[in-house]
Amino acid sequence: MTNRLLKVQDLLHKEIALLLIKDIQNPLIKSVTISGVKVSKDLRYSEIYFTSLNKDNKKIEIELNKASGFIRNELSKSIHLKRLPSIRFTYDDTAERSERIENILKSDQKY
């Protein structure tokens, strides 16, 4: 991964997290934490990974993707790139998967 791509990912991560705190009024989205950003090599697409303490992750994902146009518009005011990537939000289930694997490993050790 190039240094520029890493910088763009980091910048998007910071700016989107700030936007969610400051500008989004939806109470479902207020409980969201951005856990990662992945940008395509040509900087056209970005996948924003989020976690939430709220268990209704599908509903939150739908709400975030509805707000992606607004978020992208606000980002264009603060980030000056030749091409601002399109944004798609995806729930990050890494913590749940690792917990499930850990529980499986613990249960196997008892035998």
Question: Quick one: pLDDT at residue 110?
Answer: 59
Residues 6+ away with beta carbon under 8 Å from 79: 11, 12, 15
pLDDT tens profile 30-42: 889 999 999 999 9
Using an 8 Å Cβ cutoff, are 26 and 65 in contact? no
Kindly list the structural domains of the chain, giving each domain's residue range(s) and its CATH number in brackets, ordered by start.
3-109 (3.30.300.20)
pLDDT tens profile 27-71: 888 889 999 999 999 999 999 999 998 888 899 999 999 999 999
Q: Is the pLDDT of residue 82 over 70?
A: yes
pLDDT tens profile 98-111: 888 888 888 877 55
Q: What are phi and psi of 53, to 5 degrees?
A: -80, -20
Question: Quick one: pLDDT at residue 102?
Answer: 87
Question: Quick one: pLDDT at residue 85?
Answer: 94
